[in-house]
Chain A
Amino acid sequence: MNLSREREQLRALERAGKLEKLLAPNDDGMPWADLCWLLQFPAFLGAGIHIARMGMAAAERKASPPDEDIAWLVVLVLVAAVLRFGYPLLRTRAQRVRLKVRRSGLLLPAAVVQCNDQFFAEGNEQWVPGTLLVSFDPQVLSEPERLAKASERLFALKHADRRTLPLAHAAIAWDLYHEMGPTRSLVVPPELSEGLKDCVMVTAMLPPKPLASGRMFTALAVRGDMSPEAVAVIPAAAVRDGQSVPRRGAAWTSA
């Protein structure tokens, strides 16, 4: 499994500012960071107008502009610079994580543990919530079927008696059972991960047609960040010749 070509395409999309629109919709509303970025344009326009007026007045008087006009110009340029370079400070934590995912996330195979039934509905065009298993172990690229097996083991815990399970297993079982999300990701203990290292169970939104390779979806993920925003499932439309998943009845199971 080699995802470097796809990662390169996603990088190109991000550079063109198109990747965010292709990923799961968010409920940011009107983000202050974006509004602040927009306001730099009237700020620079205002500064430009002031420079033009100052220059014309100075030419008329054949004297250098008065100090207060220069001071006002400094203020206007300062405001424009703050808006231009300070807008990232207004990003929320979720926005910062999503940006990190797009820019430096690793492209990994992701196995479905469970997902909303709507995903399998004929003609579904909705993003639906799901629980996925991802591994940051490089081994997963050569043996992705181990990830699929591990996801089945996790799903088997869903209706197990949690009182009889070890604490880490019970936490996974409870997360699958309550089906509420988005919740923080859970580290999967090695005995459940088919020998793969660095496995985490994450909640994520699934696109109607995810980019798939065999039984696996493809996701961008940031290592070490357990917030639900740290994983983004890639839709097939995001890459050239992207294949989507076979529907229900294929080799993999759902909740």
Chain B
Amino acid sequence: MKAVRLDDDEGLRALFAEQRARLEVVRDNEIWQWFGGVPSGFGRPAAVLHGVYLQIAFVCLFAIALVVAGFTRGPGLWVVAGLAASCLLVRAILLGPPTRETLSFYRRAVQVPGVVVALAPAAAGDELRSATVLVAFGVNDAAALEGLVAAGDRLRRLVEGMETTPAALASLVAAILRRTTVRDHDGSRTAVTAEVGPGTFELAHLRISPNFLPEEKVTSRLLFVLADPERRDAGHARVVQSSLWGEAAAGLCAALPLEVAP
């Protein structure tokens, strides 16, 4: 399937089915690099590098302990051996929980469409873009996608001050603006009130890697997000790379351009 229109019910169903099938390919073959690798998005990003340092330290200390064991069975040996063991322990503590969390996120997450509501200006020296995105679970046809796009567009107009914000949405709009100003986008999601849309709508606060987008920059209001339906806390929503969006998604995104203020 090469192209699909926003009002093409059957085409959209096929696209969403293709997206689900692509996720299953990744899961069945455990090719997690297509989701961003393991661990990813939980704990400190430098943990993987520190894990390598700790592995090297363990090998060096264990080698020293083995040689020292030829000279003594005294405390010197046990201090070095203890340090070697602690390197392994710290490595396991550093990498174990984020690895488990990443894998359980990858196994549970679903791909959902999202509409960009607020995009923080690009920061110098930071490749990633911070954005608040209205996402919806269970979108499977043209009506639901059009509803999401309309709700997202309306919210964006409110955030940009192009429309007067109703009192019921004032706090939500203020919260989005606050997050955008301080770039507080950690992969978490927040619920939205019924004034924005149905209960399946949520706001995702994302850091977007340009490499994951079809044109390697944010040019469309529409993007696709990997989101954990069971958890909304930090790291449980992230933009999924465009090769998992399905071929027809590129045309769909092109039909919904994002006009970014200069």
A interface residues, Cβ below 8 angstroms from B: 29-30, 35, 38-39, 42-43, 45-50, 53, 72, 76, 79-80, 174, 178-184, 228
Residue of A nearest to B56 (CB): A30
**Contacting pair B70 A50 (CB below 8 A):** yes
A45 touches B67 (CB 8 A): yes
Contact indicator A30/B55 (Cβ below 8 Å)? yes
Contact status of A53 and B70, CB under 8 A, knowing A180-B25, A180-B26, A182-B29: yes
- Report if B69 contacts A (CB, 8 A): yes
Q: List 24 A-B contacts (CB under 8 A).
A: A29-B52, A30-B55, A35-B55, A35-B59, A38-B59, A38-B63, A39-B59, A39-B62, A39-B66, A42-B63, A45-B66, A45-B67, A46-B68, A46-B69, A47-B70, A50-B70, A50-B71, A53-B71, A72-B69, A72-B73, A180-B25, A180-B244, A183-B31, A228-B29
Residue B42 at the A interface, CB < 8 A?
A: no
Q: A84 CB to closest chain B CB, in angstroms? A: 12
Q: Give bound CA distance, A50 to B71, whole Å.
A: 6
Distance in angstroms between the alpha carbons of A79 and B84 in the assembled complex: 15
Binary flags per residue of B70-85, CB closer than 8 Å to A gives 1, else 0: 1101000000000000
Q: Are B29 and A174 in contact (CB under 8 A)?
A: no
Residues of the A chain whose Cβ atoms lie less than 8 Å from the Cβ of B55: 30, 35
Give the residues in chain B near A39, CB-CB below 8 Å: 59, 62-63, 66
Asked whether B73 lies within 8 Å of A42 as measured between CB atoms, the reply is no
**Nearest B residue to A68, CB-CB:** B73
Please state if A180 and B243 are interface contacts (CB–CB under 8 Å).
yes
Please count how many residues in chain B sit with their CB below 8 Å of the partner chain's CB atoms. 24
Top 5 nearest A-B pairs by Cβ distance?
Answer: A49-B70, A46-B70, A42-B63, A42-B66, A50-B70
Using A45-B66, A183-B25 as known contacts, list a sample of 19 further A-B pairs with CB atoms less than 8 Å apart, ordered by residue number in A: A30-B56, A39-B59, A39-B62, A42-B63, A45-B70, A46-B67, A46-B69, A46-B70, A50-B71, A174-B21, A179-B243, A180-B22, A180-B31, A180-B34, A180-B244, A181-B29, A183-B31, A184-B28, A228-B29
Q: How far is the CA of A178 from the CA of B29 in the complex (A)?
A: 13
Whether A46 and B66, one on each chain, are in contact in the complex, defined by CB atoms closer than 8 angstroms, is yes
The smallest C-beta distance from B72 to any residue of chain A, in angstroms, reads 9
Distance (whole angstroms) from the CB of B127 to the closest CB of chain A: 23
Q: In whole Å, how far is A194's beta carbon from the nearest beta carbon of chain B?
A: 27
A46 to B31, CA, bound (A): 42
Specify which of A43, A72, A174, A181 is in contact with B31 (CB 8 Å cutoff).
A181
Complex Cα gap A183–B28 (Å): 9
Q: A182 to chain B: which residues have CB within 8 Å? A: 29, 31
Closest Cβ of chain B to A203, distance in Å, is: 9
A182 vs B29: C-alpha distance when bound (angstroms):
8
Tell me if B31 and A48 are in contact (CB < 8 A). no
A76 touches B70 (CB 8 A): yes
CA distance A50 to B62 in the complex (A): 17
State in angstroms the CA–CA spacing of A35 and B59 once bound together: 7
B244 proximity list for chain A (CB < 8 A): 180
CA separation between A49 and B29, bound complex, in Å? 49
